Structure 1
Amino acid sequence: MEFLQAPFGAGLIVFLAGMLLVSEFLVKARGLAGLSGILLLGLYAYAQNTSWNMWSIGLLVVGLLLLLLDGKLIQDGTIAGIGLILMLIGLVVPTGDWVTGTVVGLMWFIGIGFGFLSLKVLPRRDMWDRIVLKSAFTSETGYSSTNTKYRDLIGKEAITLTDFRPSGTIELDGLRYSAITRGMWIKKETRVRVVEVDGTRILIEEVETETE
């Protein structure tokens, strides 16, 4: 148990837990990755029992619930990000010294980063498809997905019909299209321009208002 209380041991457990939890959120892991991540967090909590208190455990529980809420219902990554931050606080603060806390914090972020690598080897969840716009809306619901016409959209201006975080919907020439930004958030009813098209993936940027 002393190994798990040392900076390296604590960091290793947190790294694996973060990687598995993010993998569960992004890919179809049948719950195995998520369950393993939760068990590792429980092991970490048990190893750090000398300095743990209810508020830090509460942060972990709330963070896990937010991950579950986003993964099952909201599915845009925002609530999940808040959950990961709350869990980071719940993991770092109770360590009791800055060395272990720093190692745990760094390994948590590294583990999250490694979790994204699961997208390379495992089937993606539908939620991730929505975020990166791998799936397009059908024409029957008012959206256009004809690849041959998308190239003509480059350079044209449109209006955002939804908030972009960073994906959403635009209206251009009376038609609706799914689009994405370069990671920037854009508010609804903002004038934007199509700057790039790759298949059915439309990249937009906000049109800057010229001032006299």
Structure 2
Amino acid sequence: MYDEVGRIMVFGAILSVILLIIAFYIVHTRLQNNAFFASYASKVMDFFYKPLLAVYMLAYKSPDKLHKTMAETKNNAQGKKFSKTKNRIVLAPHCMRHIECKARTTRTGIQCTGCGKCDFAAVKKISEEHGYKLYIITGSSFVKHILKHPDAKGTDGVLAIGCNYEINKGMRELKKTKIATYGVPLLSNGCYNTNIDLEEFEKQLIHFET
């Protein structure tokens, strides 16, 4: 019995390594541009997230490289599907707000007043110019309230702004809703005054218009 259990464990370990090797081969070659292969790689990395996290922490002393790879892979997997969506919104993190922000918070997030102290005024303007409504969230629990709100009714595409960790986490959660997602990473991490490349942000919106 113990021999059989041992053989199963060894087989499982070997199979896991093979799956991971294939996944990382995909993300480091042109195959990553294929939605099917990118989706496979994304699912494998999600499944082995905790072991991969431990490996990256040991090798790089930081999980940033892993989260960046996973977020980019999810974008490659979801990009084609996202391009077919019709009703899109932008979800942005509260960490972009200025430390002196006085905007009130409701069940659908922070209600930006456009004071100009942070990037939100510009992000809101760009978003609305391209037909997106901006929602500034203070946590993942706000997403369900937003998606149930009349203004967001029928949403089938979410463009998520955030650090790679939050993009990866959010895209994984929203996948359960069958809503297509795409992520645009911040230029910096932190709790306040984080920034986004506004030109790159608008470039992505324009890209999905074609």
TM-score for the superposition, normalised by structure 1: 0.28
Q: Which has the larger radius of gyration?
A: 1
Higher RCO (C-alpha under 8 Å, 6+ residues apart): 2
TM-score by length of 2: 0.28
